[in-house]
Amino acid sequence: MTSAILSLVSVGVVSLVSLVGLVTLSLNEARTRRLAALLVSFAVGALLGDAFIHLIPQAFEQDTATLWPSLLILGGMLLFFTVEKLLRHEHGLLHRYHHPESIMRPELAAVNLLGDAIHNFIDGVLIAGSYLVSPALGLATTAAVLFHEIPQELGDFGILIHSGLSVRRAVLLNLASASVAILGAVTALLLGAVSGDAVTGLLIPITAGGFVYIAAADLIPELQHDRTGRGLLMQIGLMSLGMGVMGLLTVLE
């Protein structure tokens, strides 16, 4: 029961991050870009820290005699690559419509929301699966998901606005998409009630592979755009901070 409550509370908090787009209403474009860059750096450290400090050691603790954990970690990377390739990458085909003179693009909003819903479902599964192992692991996974959701949700909010939606409708639809994480959490909890081994042996290494993929394939390339020495130091500092936070969470284990 404790795992279920913690899981639902955590996915609820993560879902509310979808409202972060409202912050951009009070910021100019330059400040929004600087804020997103800082959040991306911290998210990289949090994701990699959770994967290498918490999830991967836990996966091999469950099974040290076979290649199964390694294959599942690689499988997690392939899964997230496939999901992004089939859904999110299609956004790139519509970027040409993202300019001040663009007309209403409801299909752009629809594709964005569909991709978000599937991604958030996976996040819900990952968070609940981690809580079924231990509260500390669940907290670490929640923190990592939370920190990578913030810059992502800022971008998603902008896509919805540029597709022609009003601010109110964009916020409500983004929140609805984020709330799909609750369904993912419930699914993981039901599976965990049947077989705890299935959760620890399957979801944890897949989570690790997914986090490594998100950090390495999606976020780190974004950091390469800033080629200044000051930017480098800032990025290293924030990445280290993210990893440090994940390391400190081991005290709770």
| pLDDT tens by residue, 130-146 | 888 888 888 888 988 88
pLDDT tens digits, one per residue of 95-124 = 444 444 444 556 567 766 776 787 788 888
CA distance 195 to 236: 41
Give yes or no for residue 74 having a pLDDT over 90.
yes
Residue 23 lies in a domain: no
On the question of pLDDT at 184 being above 70, the answer is yes
Residue whose token pair is 């990458």: 89
Say if pTM beats, i.e. exceeds, 0.85.
Answer: no
pLDDT category of residue 236 using cuts at 50, 70 and 90? very high
- At 131, which helix (H) or strand (E)? helix 106-133
Q: Is residue 100 part of a domain?
A: yes
Q: Which of 253, 250, 5 is nearest to 128 (CA)?
A: 5
Domain around 69:
2-7+28-252
Q: Does residue 5 surpass a pLDDT of 80?
A: yes
Q: How many domains does the chain have?
A: 1
Query: What is residue 152's predicted lDDT score, i.e. its pLDDT?
Result: 67
* Amino acid at position 2, single letter: T
- Output the pLDDT for position 101: 44
Q: Is residue 12 part of a domain?
A: no
Query: Would 202 be classed as within a structural domain?
Result: yes
When pLDDT is averaged across residues 149-178 and rounded to a whole number, the result is: 75
Distances (CA, A) of 89 to 43, 58, 60, 92, 117: 21, 32, 32, 6, 15
Residue at 75 is within a domain:
yes
Residue 233 lies in a domain: yes
- On whether the CB atoms of residues 128 and 190 are closer than 8 A, the answer is no
Please state, in angstroms and rounded to a whole number, the distance separating the CA atoms of residues 25 and 153: 14
Could you tell me the pLDDT band of residue 78, with boundaries at 50, 70 and 90? very high
- Give a yes or no: residue 237 inside a domain: yes
For residue 170, being part of any structural domain is answered with yes
What is the rounded distance in angstroms from the CA atom of residue 30 to the CA atom of residue 88?
25
